[in-house]
């Protein structure tokens, strides 16, 4: 069977990673979380003490920044210059740094190359901000996931609390508003629904409801091809 690419885009907290991971598992496709790659570059910038918005500092750093993705039993693992940073990239500071560095075109070009290579030889569910519009414009199925800002902030807050990160709902909401604006307003491959995508609003859904709904949609599309 021909490889199939499924693009899932949307803002932070819309449920992309949980839904994409679960749907990929059911379909026996590989799940690729592209946000983790931007987070690794954001972490590299913070480790160097750089201004994450400053292209003059970030671009030269890219020559010595190796981001690698490996798929293991436990899921996708992210490596920065050979170090497994899968856990380290999930802090609020790294979220903001990732959004900042992702607006620098050279960062995107480097990571998009890796993303396309990963999707070239297998069937994937890839989540991000520009997968349907830029990374995989020929993806067979394109989904744009969204939810109300209040619900997205609450979900992200609960996720961070579960991971033991000390934070409060208001700062999570502020970080999210900042990232939403940053990610949608950048010039190069901004966050927006692809013209041929289908939008799902997950507000008020349980995770299971959203997973079932997206999975059913995908299966119908694949079978109807
Ligand atoms: O999906 P996430 O929250 O882990 O992504 C972190 C940041 O990375 C997000 O705020 C914007 C950037 N990003 C991007 O610009 N393009 C992608 N395909 C994925 C993430």
- What is 23-84 written as a DSSP string? HHHHHTPEEEETHHHHHHHHHHHHHTT--TT-HHHHHHHGGG--EEEEEETTEEEEEETTEE
Q: Measured in angstroms, how far is the CA atom of residue 101 from the centroid of ligand 1?
A: 10
pLDDT in tens, the chain (225 residues): 689 999 999 999 999 999 999 999 999 999 999 999 999 999 999 999 999 999 999 999 999 999 999 999 888 999 999 999 999 999 999 999 999 999 999 999 999 999 999 999 899 999 999 999 999 999 999 999 999 999 999 999 998 899 888 899 999 999 999 999 999 999 999 999 999 999 999 999 999 999 999 999 999 999 886
Closest C-alpha to ligand 1, atom 16: 129
Q: Measured in angstroms, how far is the CA atom of residue 191 from the centroid of ligand 1?
A: 9
**C-alpha triplet 72, 102, 215: angle, nearest 5°:** 50
CATH superfamily of 5-219: P-loop containing nucleotide triphosphate hydrolases (3.40.50.300)
Which of 35, 135, 146, 163 best tests ligand 1's pocket when mutated (most atoms within 8 Å of CB)?
A: 35
Q: How far apart are CA 54 and CA 52, in angstroms?
A: 6
Q: What are the helix (H) ranges across the chain?
A: 16-27, 35-47, 55-61, 92-101, 105-120, 149-162, 169-185, 207-223
The label of the residue with tokens 């997206």 reads 214
Residue 167: strand, helix, or coil: coil
Residue 152: strand, helix, or coil: helix
Q: How far apart are CA 72 and CA 173, in angstroms?
A: 33
pTM score of the predicted model: 0.96
Give the number of other CB atoms < 10 A from CB of residue 187: 7
Give pLDDT, residue 1. Answer: 67
């Amino acid at each position: 069977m021909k490889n199939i690419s499924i693009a899932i885009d949307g803002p932070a907290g819309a449920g992309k990673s949980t839904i994409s991971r679960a749907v990929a598992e059911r379909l026996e496709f590989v799940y690729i979380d592209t946000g983790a790659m931007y987070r690794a570059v954001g972490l590299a910038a913070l480790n160097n003490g750089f201004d994450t918005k400053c292209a003059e500092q970030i671009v030269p750093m890219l020559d010595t920044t190796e981001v690698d993705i490996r798929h293991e039993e436990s899921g996708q693992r992210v490596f920065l210059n050979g170090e497994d940073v899968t856990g380290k990239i999930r802090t609020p500071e790294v979220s903001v740094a990732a959004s900042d560095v992702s607006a620098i075109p050279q960062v995107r070009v480097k990571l998009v190359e890796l993303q396309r290579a990963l999707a070239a030889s297998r069937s994937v569910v890839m989540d991000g901000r520009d997968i349907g519009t830029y990374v995989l414009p020929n993806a067979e199925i394109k989904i744009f996931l969204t939810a109300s800002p209040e619900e997205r902030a609450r979900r992200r807050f609960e996720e961070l609390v579960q991971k033991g990160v000390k934070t409060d709902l208001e700062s999570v909401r502020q970080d999210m508003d900042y990232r939403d604006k940053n990610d949608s307003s950048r010039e190069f491959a901004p966050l927006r629904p692809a013209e041929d995508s289908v939008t799902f609003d997950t507000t008020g859904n349980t995770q299971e409801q959203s997973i079932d709904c997206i999975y059913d949609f995908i299966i119908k599309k694949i079978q109807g091809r």
